[in-house]
């Protein structure tokens, strides 16, 4: 066991820890957005109940092929672009009656003949949330081009500068877009690192010497490796990473 080997091992473990930390944050954001979605669905339901004559889009109605995605964006950003790993061409925009924000219409053009369309519109209640409605099913896989790869990279690198975006995959989509999150930490985020494992706090803030740090890392790694949940999560992350680096070749 050479010091170099130890150092390398520590670096690898640190990278894995960082990856898991990001995944944890991603799950937290997903939960937050799910909560928002539930509230909006509940409000839509109440509105429809109180006014049956009003035409209202009910997302994910049973048997419907459409599915909705809620994406948190910067309200100042007027573009209705939802990065979900597919390539879309905008073919129209309309202001609808029930929402002053314009609705944009997109077609998937990653593959010829792909029937998938999506509508993108800002939420009435919360302008920072963009609602993307997907219709149809992709007849191709997510692109393996650089753009596609950058969309797929979720753990190995921080993606998407600017606002956070959390596109939820359409439930009936055979090739659901990857969960994409902006994991770059803004200043406030950095200040809010309360949910860091205590070890990470210690490691980043303490003035311990190298030996103490190393000891703490080893302790923490030992406790993690005993945790079956951690093992499972790590296996999933590694599998996902491999899948991302070697995307399935698209059929000719």
Strands of the chain (E only): list them: 67-72, 88-95, 102-108, 117-122, 129-135
Residue number, 105 or 175, with CB nearest to DNA? 105
Tell me: does residue 91 bind DNA (CB under 7 A): yes
Residue number, 161 or 229, with CB nearest to DNA? 161
Residue from 10, 14, 83, 103 binding DNA (CB under 7 A): 103
Measured from the CB of residue 43, what is the shortest distance to DNA in angstroms? 18
Residue number, 37 or 119, with CB nearest to DNA? 119
The residues near 201 (Cβ < 8 Å, ≥ 6 apart) are: 193
Residue from 77, 98, 189, 245 binding DNA (CB under 7 A): 98
Residue from 12, 15, 58, 89 binding DNA (CB under 7 A): 89
Q: Is the separation of the CB atoms in 163 and 137 below 8 Å?
A: no
Measured from the CB of residue 85, what is the shortest distance to DNA in angstroms? 15
Residue number, 90 or 215, with CB nearest to DNA? 90
Tell me: does residue 90 bind DNA (CB under 7 A): yes
Residue 252 and residue 6: Cα distance in Å, rounded?
46
Residue 13 and residue 75: Cα distance in Å, rounded?
38
Residue number, 98 or 189, with CB nearest to DNA? 98
Size of the site for DNA (CB under 7 A): 18
The residues near 131 (Cβ < 8 Å, ≥ 6 apart) are: 68, 69, 70, 71, 120, 121, 122, 123
Tell me: does residue 117 bind DNA (CB under 7 A): yes
The residues near 86 (Cβ < 8 Å, ≥ 6 apart) are: 108, 110, 116, 138, 142, 143, 177
Residue 82 and residue 160: Cα distance in Å, rounded?
11
Residue number, 53 or 76, with CB nearest to DNA? 53
Tell me: does residue 100 bind DNA (CB under 7 A): no
Q: Point out which residues pair with 135 in neighbouring strands.
A: 117
List of residues contacting DNA (CB under 7 A)? 53, 55, 79, 81, 89-94, 96-98, 103-105, 117, 119
């Amino acid at each position: 066991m050479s010091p170099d080997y130890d150092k390398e091992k520590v670096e690898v473990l640190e990278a894995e820890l960082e990856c898991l930390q990001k995944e944890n944050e991603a799950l937290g954001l997903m939960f937050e957005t799910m909560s928002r979605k539930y509230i909006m669905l509940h409000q839509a339901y109440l509105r429809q109940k109180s006014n049956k004559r009003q035409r209202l889009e009910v997302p994910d109605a049973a048997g419907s092929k459409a599915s909705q995605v809620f994406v948190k964006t910067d309200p100042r950003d007027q573009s209705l672009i939802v990065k979900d790993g597919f390539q879309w061409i905008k073919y129209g925009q309309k202001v609808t009656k029930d929402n002053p924000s314009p609705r944009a219409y997109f077609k998937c053009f990653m593959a010829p003949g792909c029937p998938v369309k999506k509508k993108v519109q800002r939420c009435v209640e919360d302008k920072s949330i963009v609602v993307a409605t997907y219709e149809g099913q992709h007849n191709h896989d997510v692109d393996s081009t650089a753009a596609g790869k950058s969309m797929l990279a979720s753990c190995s690198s921080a993606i998407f500068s600017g606002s956070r975006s959390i596109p939820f995959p359409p439930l009936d989509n055979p090739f659901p877009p990857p969960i994409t999150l902006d994991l770059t930490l803004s200043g406030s985020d950095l200040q809010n690192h309360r949910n860091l494992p205590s070890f990470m706090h210690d490691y980043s803030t303490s003035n311990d010497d190298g030996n103490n740090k190393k000891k703490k890392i080893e302790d923490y790694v030992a406790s993690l490796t005993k945790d079956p949940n951690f093992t499972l999560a790590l296996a999933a992350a590694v599998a996902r990473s491999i899948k991302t680096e070697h995307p399935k070749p698209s059929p000719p």
